Amino acid sequence: VTVTPVTSTLSTTPPRAHASIPEPSFLSIAASHPQPRAARPLRRYHFHAPGLVYIIVTLFIAIGAINSQNNLLFSALGLAIGGLLVSGLLSGGALMGLRLNRSAPTHLPLGQPLEITYQLRNSGRLVPAFGIHLMELSSHPELTAAPEVNWPAFFPPPRAFAVQVPPRGVADAVATVIPRRRGRLTFGPIYAWTTFPFGLVKKSVTLAIPQSTLIHPPILPLRSGLLRQLISRAPMGNNADRNPGMGDEFFGLREYVPGDSLRRIAWKRSARTGDLVVRQNAMPAPQRLWIVLRLVAPGSRVPAGASETSRLNERAIALAASLLSAASAAEIAVGLAIPGVAPVGDPMRAAAAGMAAPRLGRPHLERLLNELAMLDADTLHRGAAAGFPDAAARSGACAIIDAAGPDPSFGPPHALRFAASEAERMLEDSEVVRRTLALFDLAPALPPRRHWRTALRAFIRAAGGSA
């Protein structure tokens, strides 16, 4: 399974709805993502090795019984055949009334365990379902309409197990996995099977339930004092908002209304106009922090090969996400600029591409994290387009995270520069941080092993035959 590169852009486009992400996302990829739809479940019986051995033993018993006319062997033969039939009936009956659903978080920071909860509902009145195995499939030859599925790039096949689902009851089975990379992970068909009661016959149900989860970059704890150091380097002034409030900066004048304090009356102006006018102060503006993320574009000169480029970019993105999260938690308005991000579609929005002005609030932070989650360094522009954004130089503190290493010529002098290779210097010295950063050193996940029948069909298809 290959992960198709996705492009993203920072824009002010109204968010579009997505089934698995309830809050609006401004990511353009969301528009092209298919909506989940119910599909007809595929039910199959599989005969596997234990069943084959069982049948061979049953045949031997049959031969022994016929040859010897030993009635106990005849009854043993009856028991063996009865066992086979009861096995098929029980497992088939259990899965016949089984309804499946998947529940996964809409987003999650990288490094945190992802709990995929499978909700099983047994609509049968009599037959309980036991021993239900649940697996994610990357594809299924008979489910042609399945959307692009990319979870194998994130983690090895997750497995869950439900011990029982009583008749007319529900049960949850949880698979816990740890994603190895950020981005939008999409799920595809769910494969539920059971060999209960005797392990002779395997009965399966495959159901396509498309769903996705956005894996944010890891949110790691910063070293203490780092945020204070950043804010302290912000240029003085420009601390007022454009709205009236209770700050110290002058905002404007307005007519007196009963109830206004006499102390706020602008006497000179009132004397000049003849009407009582009161002074209004501006609302105190939050501290602002611009985070400029400078990634290594493809084709650029890098200290090492492509894997090193990717590793540095990922560390830079992780650092940016951690800074954004920590600053937002400290009531600092955070903005993000990523020089070189390609605009998508509308050329009129090119000027604003790759930038999000500092703002407060959780929705804003999540939008930024979503953007970082979907950021693809392979689509970065090189050359002039990758210059320092002017808006970031004008106000607030500025942190430049450079994947390739600090460049003093890039950005204003008051900006604080960080190199991705020295991320540990900015982050708390802890085992969690070390292990999370080590995720970027891992080799990409291998695609899961295919079922032999699937592989055979693929081979026949490739050879020009029909499977």
Partner 1 sequence: MNLNRAYQRCALALAVLGILSYATAARQTASGAPGLLVWALPALCTGWYLSARRSFTLPRAAVNALLTGALGYAILRAISGMDVSTVAELVIFLLVIKVGDRRSPRDDGQIISLSVFLAISAMLTGNSLLVGVQLMVFLPLLVATVMLFQLQSGWLAAHGEAAAPSAGPPVSPVPLPSPRWADTAVPGLASLLRRTVVVSSLGILAFSFLVFVILPRGVGENFLGPIGHVVRLGTVTAFTDTVALGDRGVISDNPEVVFTAEFLQEGGENIGSLDMTYYLRGAVLDKYSRETHTWSASTVNKNVDPRVITGPDRMPVGVLERNSPLASSSSTQLIEQVIRIPQVPNSPIHLFGLWHPVTIEIPRQGTAKVNYTDAVVESAGSAGPFTYRVKSTIAPLASNDAARRTPTSFPSPPVHDLAARILSDAKLDPDPEQRPVSDDARGARMIQEYLRTKYSYTLTEYAAPYGEDPIEHFLFVSKAGHCEYFASAMVALCRAVGINARMVTGYIAAEFNSATGQYVVRQSNAHAWVEAEAGAGFWQRYDPTPPSDLARLHRPAPGIFTRLRQMLDAAEFTWNQSVVGFDEHARERLLAPTARPGDALATRLESFAARVRFGGSRLVFTALARGMVTFALVAITGFGFSFLLSIVRKRRPARARRADPRPLRFYSNLLTLLRRRGQAKPLWRPPLAHVSTLSDPELALGAEALTRLYYRARFGQQPPTALELAQARAMLRKLGR
Interacting residues with partner 1 (CB under 8 A) = 61, 63-79, 81-83, 85-86, 89-90, 111-113, 128, 130-131, 133, 155-161, 163-164, 166, 173, 175-178, 180, 194-199, 218, 432, 435-436, 438-439, 442
Could you tell me whether strands 333-337 and 114-122 are parallel, antiparallel, or unpaired per DSSP bridges? Answer: unpaired
In the complex with partner 1, the residue whose CB is nearer, 65 or 372, is: 65
CB of 390 to partner 1, least distance (A): 38
Three-state DSSP class for residue 199 = coil
CB of 359 to partner 1, least distance (A): 30
User: Which single residue is written with the structure tokens 């955070």?
Assistant: 334
In the complex with partner 1, the residue whose CB is nearer, 61 or 146, is: 61
CB of 370 to partner 1, least distance (A): 21
In the complex with partner 1, the residue whose CB is nearer, 306 or 438, is: 438
Contacts of 327 (CB under 8 A, 6+ apart): 227, 230, 289, 291, 334
- The separation between CA 256 and the C-alpha centre of its own chain, rounded to angstroms, equals 53
CB of 375 to partner 1, least distance (A): 21
Q: Collect contacts of 237-242 with beta carbons under 8 A, ≥24 apart.
A: 238/285, 238/395, 238/396, 239/284, 239/285, 240/282, 240/283, 240/284, 240/285, 241/282, 241/283, 241/284, 241/285, 241/286, 242/282
In the complex with partner 1, the residue whose CB is nearer, 125 or 268, is: 125
CB of 45 to partner 1, least distance (A): 16
Q: Within 13 A of 73's CA, how many CA atoms are on the CB side?
A: 14
Taking each helix axis as running N to C, give the angle between helix 362-374 and helix 306-329, from 0 to 180 degrees, rounded to the nearest 10. Answer: 180
**Which one, of 426, 434, 437, lies nearest residue 402 by Cα?**
426
CB of 443 to partner 1, least distance (A): 11
In the complex with partner 1, the residue whose CB is nearer, 65 or 400, is: 65
In the complex with partner 1, the residue whose CB is nearer, 77 or 278, is: 77
In the complex with partner 1, the residue whose CB is nearer, 80 or 368, is: 80
CB of 314 to partner 1, least distance (A): 14
In the complex with partner 1, the residue whose CB is nearer, 177 or 380, is: 177
CB of 130 to partner 1, least distance (A): 6
In the complex with partner 1, the residue whose CB is nearer, 50 or 245, is: 50
Contacts of 298 (CB under 8 A, 6+ apart): 309, 377, 378, 380
Contacts of 82 (CB under 8 A, 6+ apart): none
Task: Give the separation between CA 207 and CA 188, rounded to whole angstroms.
Answer: 9
Could you tell me whether strands 240-244 and 250-255 are parallel, antiparallel, or unpaired per DSSP bridges? Answer: unpaired
CB of 111 to partner 1, least distance (A): 4
Is residue 210 reached through a cis peptide bond, with omega within 30 degrees of 0 on the bond before it?
no
Cite the beta strand spans of 217-311 per DSSP E: 240-244, 250-255, 277-284, 288-294
